[in-house]
Structure 1
Amino acid sequence: MSIFLRPASAVALAVLRSTQSSLNRTQQQASSGLRVAGAKDNAAYWHIATVTRSDTLALSAVRDALGMAAATVNIASTSITNAADLVSQIKSKLVAATEDGVDKVKVNEDIAQLKDQLRSVGEAASFNGDNWVVLDGNDDPNKPKEIPASLIRYSDGTISMGWLTYKGDAPPSGTITPEDAGYLIDDLASGTGGHGVLTSDAFATAVGASQNYVLLASKNGNTAGQVEISLDSTTTQGQVRDMLSVVDAMLGQLTTIGSAFGSMETRVQLQQNFAQDLSDSLTEGVGKLVDADMEEVSTRLAALQTRQQLGLQSLSIANASYDTIRQLFQNIH
């Protein structure tokens, strides 16, 4: 006598297996929150999501870099603003020195204090070891300051970086003009201080001063022939007027640099906002492709668990006949 799997039992078993498979898949979606967790779920969506997540991580690094840049540029901008205020005060002192009977030695004491503060303002404008207003050490005056600003992915799949640049450099050769002074102070040993507004004698040349006046002498540069602006009892009115013209020209260039830094501050802030919005949009786009609808998953999970219980009961009922046959054989002696 042969005992075969009854059709009712076979159907119940097949239904139970199908239910268990759907239940496992739904439980995985519920625990991970993803309906596309791997390439086997949907190869195209998984590929898009993986590439986009990678870009989102890169954008996060860009946002961090922009945060660092924002602090650096803000400090540089603040330094230039304070320096312009100090130079304006020096200008007012020189104007006072043109009056008859003014003690030029006393006026010079005030100017000396302001000049010391100018150097302090410049050298203190450093964030994380990066100073955008003072050239020193191994700085390259011909290399612009750059910060990563964006990640660009092209249609062919290649990527590139977008950069924000502050170009405060002077030409590598030729005569340095006042417009080439893109920094506050130039202490490089390789030049004459011409890259810094306060250390450049190009302003004296431009206004036709009788001497190569500078507000501050470069610490390391070749300062031969330069005269640091100061007053004493022998200073003539003509010399004071020359100093005044030089300082006024320096102040004009400082406002130009300050405007450049102010514009860059605004650009960095705009780029930070854009990078954040872009990252949010990419994350939302990936979610639409691969995230599970948790309300739907929860409802389906409850239904499948119920179906599983019913399937087990159906299989138990279908298998009850086997118990009857077994009992019959047990009664045979």
Structure 2
Amino acid sequence: MSSLLTNSTAMTALQTLRSVSSQLSSTQTRISTGQRVSTASDNAAYWSIATSMRADNAALSAVSDSLGLSAATVDTEYTALNTVIGDKDSGLVKLQSLLVEAKTAGIDRSKIQADITQIQQQMKSTADAATFNGVNWLSTTASTPATVDLVSSYSRVQSTPTTGAITLTVSSYSLFTASTSGILDTQTTSGVSVANMTITSLTDAASDQTTLDGYIAQVTAAINSAASAAADLGAVKNRISTNTEFVKTLMDSVDRGIGQLVDADMNQESTRLAALQVQQQLGVQALSIANNSSQSILSLFR
């Protein structure tokens, strides 16, 4: 039956054209965004997972930045500590050799004291200068915290986030403190520390030689303590370096996981686009043919 009011062929062609146009719009969106799931309406489950994973990656990025800051801080303290330990020409090692030299009978100890004083002042200056971003663990004040946490990791199990940290005890590295309890300013019962010891008034007398032996032992203990602190900071440096590489690798892994969930396959989408464009052209042509079919009814009235 031919009808002027109802053209079922045109209606079918129009429905097909609408479907093709909708698919074409969706495909073009995927191509322009590069994602097959760019909004929650595309796939609510995958979009939600991808959003949470992107938030995790942002947190990991913050951890990476924090590790960079921590690495710089630790490196500053480590470098200064090694400088204080010194070698045969400087630092505690040189100080120890000068004290041994001072045990020589008849030697001018006032001349040796001049070198000792310079070393003591240099060690204090080095400790005070070991500051990065306002942080100094070698020369501390009353306001310096007893422990510091260096953020090292972030993880999330379901809805529970966990932040990991490397905890350091500042007193383990302190050379000078406000309470004179550091490696270099801790005083013996006679009020002598590595930082203030003087040998100008000492002589070749047995009692003074014993005093010198005590000074040498005191400096040797300071070398051992400083070396232990430097070794600990060196281990922390290695741990931070390892964590930094792991966090970067983990971020790349999360990015790949997000991509597998929401990224569009551009080869597939380009093929689909070409097919839908042909279907759209055919749909337009079919609708045109269906609309023109009603013109044949006019011939019945001629």
Q: TM-score, normalised on structure 2? A: 0.91
**Change over 3 Å in CA distance of 1:305–1:105 after alignment to 2:** same
Q: Higher relative CO (CA 8 A, sep ≥ 6), structure 1 or 2?
A: 2
**Change over 3 Å in CA distance of 1:102–1:133 after alignment to 2:** same
2:35 aligned with 1:48:
no
Uncovered stretches (5+) of structure 1, i.e. residues with no partner: 170-180, 206-210, 217-227
Query: 1:142-188 CA deviation, whole Å, 9 max, x = no partner?
Result: x3111111112124x2112111111134xxxxxxxxxxx541211x2
2:104 aligned with 1:107:
no
Question: C-alpha separation between the residues in 1 aligned to 2:154 and 2:216?
Answer: 48
RMSD (Å), alpha carbons = 1.9
Q: Is the Cα–Cα contact under 8 Å of residues 173 and 229 in structure 2 kept in the other structure?
A: yes
Partner of 2:32: 31
Partner of 2:126: 121
Q: Which amino acid in the other structure matches residue 287 of structure 1?
A: G
Shift of 1:21: 0.5
Q: Is the Cα–Cα contact under 8 Å of residues 63 and 276 in structure 1 kept in the other structure?
A: yes
Q: Is the Cα–Cα contact under 8 Å of residues 213 and 246 in structure 1 kept in the other structure?
A: no
2:211 aligned with 1:239:
yes
Q: Which amino acid in the other structure matches residue 254 of structure 1?
A: A
Q: Which amino acid in the other structure matches residue 48 of structure 2?
A: H
Q: Is the Cα–Cα contact under 8 Å of residues 183 and 226 in structure 2 kept in the other structure?
A: yes
Aligned counterparts, 1:47-86, within 5 A? 47-85=48-86, 86=91
Aligned counterparts, 1:266-285, within 5 A? 266-285=238-257
Partner of 1:259: 231
Question: C-alpha separation between the residues in 1 aligned to 2:261 and 2:212?
Answer: 73
Shift of 1:100: 1.8
Uncovered stretches (5+) of structure 2, i.e. residues with no partner: none
Shift of 1:65: 0.3
2:157 aligned with 1:154:
yes
Question: C-alpha separation between the residues in 2 aligned to 1:101 and 1:309?
Answer: 110
SS of corresponding position for 2:35: coil
**Which of 182, 185, 191 is equivalent to 2:176?**
185
SS of corresponding position for 1:131: coil
Query: 1:168-222 CA deviation, whole Å, 9 max, x = no partner?
Result: 34xxxxxxxxxxx541211x2xx2x11x101112xx46xxxxx332122xxxxxx
Aligned residues with identical type, % of pairs: 36
Aligned counterparts, 1:208-223, within 5 A? 211-216=190-195
Aligned counterparts, 1:135-174, within 5 A? 135-140=140-145, 143-155=146-158, 157-169=159-171
Shift of 1:240: 1.6
Q: TM-score, normalised on structure 1? A: 0.83
The number of aligned residues is 293
Question: C-alpha separation between the residues in 2 aligned to 1:200 and 1:5?
Answer: 103
Q: Is the Cα–Cα contact under 8 Å of residues 70 and 265 in structure 1 kept in the other structure?
A: yes
